[in-house]
Structure 1
Amino acid sequence: MALAHQGIEAEEPIEPPATTASWAALVAIGVGAFALVTTEFLPVGLLPQIASDMTVTEGQAGLAVTMSGLFAATAAPISIWIAGSLDRRKVLLFLLGILLIANLIVAMAPSFLMILLGRVLLGATIGAFWTIAGPLGPRLKPGPKAGLATAIILSGVSLGTVAGVPVGALIGELVGWRYTFGLSAIVAVLVLVAIALLVPPLPVKSSGGLGDLYRVFKNPMVRFGLVGIFLSFVGQFAGYTYIAPFLLKIVRVDPPTVSAVLFGFGLVGVAGNILGGWAVGKSLRWATAGTLTLLGTSVLLLILLGSYPAAAIPLILVWGLGFGMQPIVIQNWMFNAAPDQLEGVQAILVSAAQTSIGSGALIGGLLFDQLGLKAAFAAAAVTAFLTAAMFAALKPSAAGR
């Protein structure tokens, strides 16, 4: 999922005095986040290939997304407790080592069960890395540069969410799905080396632990945001997970065209990241409601006009724009709700988003197998409209602006 920090000032860290680091160190951590999230979404663009090779249905192949999402959700809050007072640099290096192993397991998997095992390991790594790395910006670049530092780190998450599918589809089309995961393993090694060389030691004096999560959860606007995350992300990933089969079976384009369309989806998604960051600066409530309305409208029109490529392909690109905006506006909503508790917010946000991604892929797979692709896309449209109405109906004073 694409969650980048835009314009929200970071909290003062609970760790010892900040350790100054180069911008290259921040970029290395951001690339690590990009590698993890890209790997999470690789199967979406490779579902037909994986399903065919493993002799499972495409709906069942969607479990590769479900398992990583659900285990990331579990790992996010637990990682705060497990990491405790461990040096955060060592934690990041350990997690990248697990990413390497997970990708190798999937690349060499003799059965679909082994693929799922690799995806479980990946999910645990994503949840922990995202939670630990997200709040490091203020430590590495304290003072007025803290916000930009955090944005650089979390931009890797945003770009990975929108780039994972087109990257997977393009490489998979060229060299096959196994080599795609093999290349992802190589990227993990490169990032591990970069962080080892560029990021200074990051000792921790104390950690608020799970108690911080409880205090954050007591905030009513945080709970409101969590409902919005669950509804919108479950719905979107019920449809988005099966976008490649939709293009092949409903739009009826050939595999190279699928790769091209998904690449375009990723490009406009990056533009959506930027647009979302601009929109929340104008009105957080209406940026959120408007983004969700855009998502619902584009998916609804795809259901109605999906068999016409001339209409379907532009609509998919519009969907991609809204898809890139969605995590930006949602994350800003959550950070705006509790700006002085960012580490706790980050853990809850990751857990909620990953639970929703995994659940959405599962629900979409069941709808796909039982009722057809359009049923999965209908779930995406309906939940987007419901969530848009929820945010639009909120009083401006409660929303902050």
Structure 2
Amino acid sequence: MTTTTVSATRRDVLPWSALLALGTAVFITSLTETLPAGVLPQMSSALGVSSGAAGQTVTVYATGTALTAIPLAAATAGIRRKPLLLGAMAVFLVANTLTAAAPGYAVLLLSRFLAGVAAGLAWALLAGYARRIAPPGQEGRAIAIAMTGIPLALSLGVPAGTLIGQQVGWRVSFAAVSVLTLAVLGWITIGVPAVSRPTATADRPKATTRQTLRVPGVAAVMVAVVTFVLGHTVIYAYIAPYLRHAGLGDAADAILLAFGIACLISIWYTGRHIDRRPRGLALTAAALFTLATAAFAATTAQAVVWVAAVAWGLGWGAAPTLLQTAAGHAGIRRGPAVADTAQAILVTLWNAAMALGGVIGGLLLQRVGVTADAVAAAVLGVLSLAVIAIARHHAFALSDQDTP
């Protein structure tokens, strides 16, 4: 199976084992990024730094991803995809093991930056890999299955890691991720078919960032990525102060669980329908997010907050799959190399938007007030909805067949 090519595995049935292996890899990358938030007090106490300093481990991770995703995608364009993916996950293994054993703050930051670099490469590969091993006409569903790792990491992985950190220690949480990564390396080696590397031809030249952004539809997708992710991060990073303001501080865990369950429902539904109705799903996701954040901004009535949190999850859960699928659809017309470069640009902008969202959300919270983040998120939601509505021919078409 390790030498099987994708052409030999293309059937009408999805390669579930391979896609679940990729989904678990996505789970690891997402969990590695967000796990510090759940064990922040233990990390800061053990290393003798403030909570703010310990929180920079998330920023360093995102910085590593944002700075290296595009250069690494370009530098590795001629390398076979399966060994490259295994190499990226092996770096995750090293980085999380180093995090678990870090003797001090400087080593911790270095390990987190290394993990971010690995994430930049892995994220640029994973959606395209899922697309290539899927049967024709089921590419969007394959990406949806792989992207299930994101809401699972947020709704299950982080709480589990937090519990381990509280009961046994934060280092054990990262060591557990290393053990899972080792298992996934074996799973990918055995169960994921190889795919051919992108090649440049006369009519499909090597893709640079500038050339890729000029492909019809790609730039529109990237604008939607920035506005959607920025809006989500502005409110998500500071949802705890908002819930306290609404008198729901004690119910924060339950509300976030409801959000996570809604995310899972959303990604399940999206996976079933994305290959037939990608545009309708994208419009619905952006509309749900916009309505939810507008409700947060308009009122702190507890019943409304609960309903809005569920609507937010339904809108956001589908976003990674929808946006990565749209980027792939826009780029694949110019060849796999362009599609891979589009994914690398998406990863870079995604992480930059996350980092910027944390900064903007914090400034608004301190200088304007607790509902200012919700207002900003709603405005950004309107912008993303407008971009999706306007980009109907190349970026967010009615279906893959409707894309010129």
Q: What secondary structure sits across from 1:86 in the alignment?
A: coil
User: Which is worse superposed, 205-214 or 30-39?
Assistant: 205-214
Letter in 2 for 1:91: L
Unaligned runs of 5+ in 2: 399-404
Contact 1:294 1:322 in 2 (8 A): yes
* Distance verdict in 2 for CA 1:371–1:31, change over 3 Å: same
Distance, in Å, in 2 between the alignment partners of 1:281 and 1:100 is: 34
From 368, 371, 374, give the equivalent of 1:374.
371
From 144, 151, 156, give the equivalent of 2:146.
156
Over the aligned positions, Cα root-mean-square deviation in angstroms equals 3.5
Q: What secondary structure sits across from 2:217 in the alignment?
A: helix
How far does residue 86 in structure 1 lie from its aligned partner after superposition? 3.2
1:343 paired to 2:340: yes
What TM-score do the two structures reach when normalised by structure 2?
Answer: 0.78
How far does residue 309 in structure 1 lie from its aligned partner after superposition? 4.3
1:236 paired to 2:229: no
Contact 1:163 1:266 in 2 (8 A): no
Distance, in Å, in 1 between the alignment partners of 2:132 and 2:332 is: 16
For residues 10-45 of structure 1, the C-alpha deviation after alignment (integer angstroms, 9 at most, x for no partner) is xxxxxx984649753443233212221232233445
Contact 1:173 1:259 in 2 (8 A): no
| 1:3 paired residue number | none
For residues 78-127 of structure 1, the C-alpha deviation after alignment (integer angstroms, 9 at most, x for no partner) is 22333244343322222222112222333344555544333222211111
Distance, in Å, in 2 between the alignment partners of 1:131 and 1:165 is: 23
Distance, in Å, in 1 between the alignment partners of 2:192 and 2:272 is: 30
Letter in 2 for 1:297: L
* Distance verdict in 2 for CA 1:34–1:380, change over 3 Å: same
Using CA pairs below 8 Å that are at least 6 residues apart, which structure has the higher relative contact order?
1
Letter in 2 for 1:155: I
* Distance verdict in 2 for CA 1:116–1:374, change over 3 Å: farther
| 2:87 paired residue number | 94
From 265, 268, 284, give the equivalent of 2:259.
265
Contact 1:169 1:262 in 2 (8 A): no
Distance, in Å, in 1 between the alignment partners of 2:40 and 2:108 is: 12
User: Which is worse superposed, 40-49 or 63-72?
Assistant: 40-49
User: Which is worse superposed, 203-212 or 312-321?
Assistant: 203-212
1:292 paired to 2:286: yes
1:320 paired to 2:313: yes
For residues 165-186 of structure 1, the C-alpha deviation after alignment (integer angstroms, 9 at most, x for no partner) is 5431343145424433232122
1:83 paired to 2:76: yes
In the alignment of these two chains, the number of paired residues is 378
| 2:402 paired residue number | none
Contact 1:77 1:210 in 2 (8 A): no
Which aligned pairs between 1:192-211 and structure 2 lie closer than 5 A? 192-199=185-192, 204=197, 206=199, 211=207
Distance, in Å, in 1 between the alignment partners of 2:6 and 2:146 is: 26
Distance, in Å, in 1 between the alignment partners of 2:230 and 2:281 is: 20
Contact 2:70 2:345 in 1 (8 A): yes
Letter in 2 for 1:95: A
From 250, 274, 280, give the equivalent of 2:268.
274
1:330 paired to 2:323: yes
Unaligned runs of 5+ in 1: 1-15
User: Which is worse superposed, 99-108 or 206-215?
Assistant: 206-215
* Distance verdict in 2 for CA 1:246–1:156, change over 3 Å: farther
